[in-house]
């Protein structure tokens, strides 16, 4: 049977209800929460601060360091505490997704630490994490040329679908599910993250990237809105 209806009744290009809030971790230099429906990510930024051990320091520019992890009870089957191969890879690609927006070249020998924690998971956790981290970096006052917005686009059977949920990721009929997390520099539209697993034609992939760009424009509007609200306070 062809994929004609999403389990939660959304249109194919419709994002889940989003929530964004800055300042959720008072002790951090910057922090934010970002949610796509049931998926909730919290990011905290500490720095720029001297990087230890010293051999990791870069005398030419500041270093961005990202750590992503999920709480043990954020998923249905308890996740063992501590880093996994998955979380380490996500940390690294998140770092690459955020780095192009930052201007930390003048902070030689320092590090900007971004800690991302997933409180509750229903797919798209890395994208929610990137959106939260981008807000937290701006909230911390780290010089940035742009914000970063991220969304997960799927190809479910032959349909291009925005902001997947777990049930869609697990879809097996027809052509099955292909998951494509994407991140863009919000103003310039350049890509900073693209991962893919599944199977798709080149034509469908291009459609997916375009759908991702359209969704990220909406996410960017929300990110701008919550940042402007702190300015007004």
- Which residues of the shown chain bind other proteins in the complex (CB under 8 A)? 24-28, 38, 42-44, 46, 49, 67, 71-78, 81-83, 113, 115-117, 119-121
- Least distance from other proteins to the Cβ atom of residue 54, Å: 16
| Cβ distance to other proteins smaller for residue 84 or 190 | 84
Please give the Cα distance from 181 to 12 (Å, whole number).
16
Please give the Cα distance from 219 to 17 (Å, whole number).
11
Angle (deg, nearest 10), helices 125-139 and 85-98: 50
| Cβ distance to other proteins smaller for residue 26 or 59 | 26
- Least distance from other proteins to the Cβ atom of residue 16, Å: 14
- Least distance from other proteins to the Cβ atom of residue 73, Å: 3
Q: Are 42 and 57 in contact (CB under 8 A)?
A: no
- Least distance from other proteins to the Cβ atom of residue 189, Å: 30
Please give the Cα distance from 212 to 207 (Å, whole number).
9
Q: Are 148 and 186 in contact (CB under 8 A)?
A: yes
For the chain, give the longest Cα–Cα distance. Answer: 59
| Cβ distance to other proteins smaller for residue 122 or 200 | 122
| Cβ distance to other proteins smaller for residue 113 or 168 | 113
């Amino acid at each position: 049977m062809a994929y004609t209806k999403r389990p939660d009744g959304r249109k194919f290009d419709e994002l889940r209800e989003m929530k964004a809030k800055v300042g959720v971790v008072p002790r951090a230099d910057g922090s934010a929460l970002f949610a796509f429906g049931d998926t909730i990510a919290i990011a905290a930024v500490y720095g720029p601060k001297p990087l230890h051990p010293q051999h990791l320091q870069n005398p030419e520019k500041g270093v961005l360091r990202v750590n992503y992890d999920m709480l043990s009870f954020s998923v249905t089957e308890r996740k063992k505490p501590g880093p996994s191969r998955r979380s380490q890879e996500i940390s690294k690609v998140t770092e690459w997704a955020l780095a192009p927006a930052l201007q930390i070249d003048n902070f030689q020998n320092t590090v900007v630490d971004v800690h991302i924690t997933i409180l509750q998971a229903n797919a798209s956790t890395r994208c929610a994490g990137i959106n939260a981290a981008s807000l937290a970096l701006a909230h911390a006052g780290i010089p940035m040329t742009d914000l970063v917005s991220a969304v997960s686009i799927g190809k479910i059977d032959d349909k291009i679908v925005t902001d997947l949920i777990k049930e869609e990721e697990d879809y097996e009929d027809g052509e099955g599910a292909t998951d494509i997390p994407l991140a863009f520099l919000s103003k310039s539209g350049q890509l900073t993250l693209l991962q893919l697993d599944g199977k798709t034609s080149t034509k469908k992939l291009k459609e997916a990237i375009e759908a991702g760009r359209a969704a990220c424009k909406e996410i960017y509007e929300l990110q701008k809105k919550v940042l402007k609200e702190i300015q007004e306070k």
